[in-house]
């Protein structure tokens, strides 16, 4: 399970060196293939290929290909690219996505563990967004309810 925030940089070719904490988890699971995509173009999602295949399977098993699923598949297909990690633990972010998410050039990024995938953000933009979108009281109540349900099981 991926957790935490690890600052990083992209090289001049748009390759992300996977932070060592995440790399250790990937090595333990023997993962070298990834699907890199985005559901909004604002950040890159780095999915270990087996996890992405589970998402695809869940979508394929849904009773209907409703509008939300179609939109999601359009976005993730448009921005998506399957890649292999190189010997230096780097993955190439798709050029289209790098441009849209402002992940090009000499920019600092933050790599955040999102349980079963990694999210890569332009660090400055992400920090601005954090300040502008703090947890509300309603958000906290929703989270408390979800966590309480988990404890009761």
Q: Kindly report, residue by residue over 120-150, the tens digit of the pLDDT.
A: 999 999 999 988 888 889 999 988 988 887 5
Angle CA(19)–CA(78)–CA(102) in degrees, nearest 5? 50
Residue 116 forms part of a structural domain:
yes
Q: What pTM does this model have?
A: 0.89
CA 78 from centre of chain: 15
CB of 10 closer than 8 Å to CB of 107: yes
Residue with token string 């690890």: 6
Residue 73 belongs to some domain of the structure: yes
Q: With respect to residue 132, please indicate whether it lies within any of the assigned structural domains.
A: no
Confidence band for 63, pLDDT divided at 50, 70 and 90: low
Q: Per-residue pLDDT for 153 more than 60?
A: no
Of 2-11, 76-85, 128-137, which gets the smallest average pLDDT? 128-137
pLDDT of residue 122: 96
CATH number of the domain where residue 76 is located:
3.40.1550.20
The answer to whether residue 133 sits within a structural domain is no
127 assigned to some structural domain:
no
* Number of structural domains found in the chain: 1
Q: Is the pLDDT of residue 151 over 80?
A: no
The sign of the CA dihedral 25, 29, 31, 35 is negative
Structural domain includes residue 70? yes
Q: For residue 152, what pLDDT is reported?
A: 62
Q: Where are the alpha helices (DSSP H) in the chain?
A: 20-28, 49-61, 67-79, 95-100, 123-132, 137-152
Q: What is the pLDDT of residues 95-104, one digit of tens each?
A: 999 999 999 8
Q: Which domain holds residue 19?
A: 5-122
Q: Does any domain span residue 135?
A: no
Q: Mean pLDDT score of the chain, rounded to an integer?
A: 92
Cα end-to-end distance, the chain, whole Å:
21
């Amino acid at each position: 399970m991926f957790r935490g925030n690890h600052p990083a940089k992209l090289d001049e070719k748009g390759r992300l060196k996977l932070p060592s904490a995440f790399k250790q988890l990937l090595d333990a699971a023997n993962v070298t293939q990834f699907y890199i995509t985005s559901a909004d173009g604002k950040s890159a999602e780095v999915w270990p290929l087996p996890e992405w295949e589970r998402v695809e399977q869940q979508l394929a098993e849904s009773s209907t290909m409703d509008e939300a699923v179609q939109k999601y598949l359009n976005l993730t297909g448009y921005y998506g690219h399957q890649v292999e990690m190189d010997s230096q633990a780097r993955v190439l972010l798709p050029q289209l996505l790098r441009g849209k998410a402002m992940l090009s050039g000499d920019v600092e990024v933050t790599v955040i563990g999102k349980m079963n995938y990694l999210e890569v953000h332009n660090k400055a933009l992400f920090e601005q967004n954090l300040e502008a979108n703090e947890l509300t009281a309603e958000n906290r109540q929703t989270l408390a309810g979800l966590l309480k349900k988990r404890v009761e099981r």
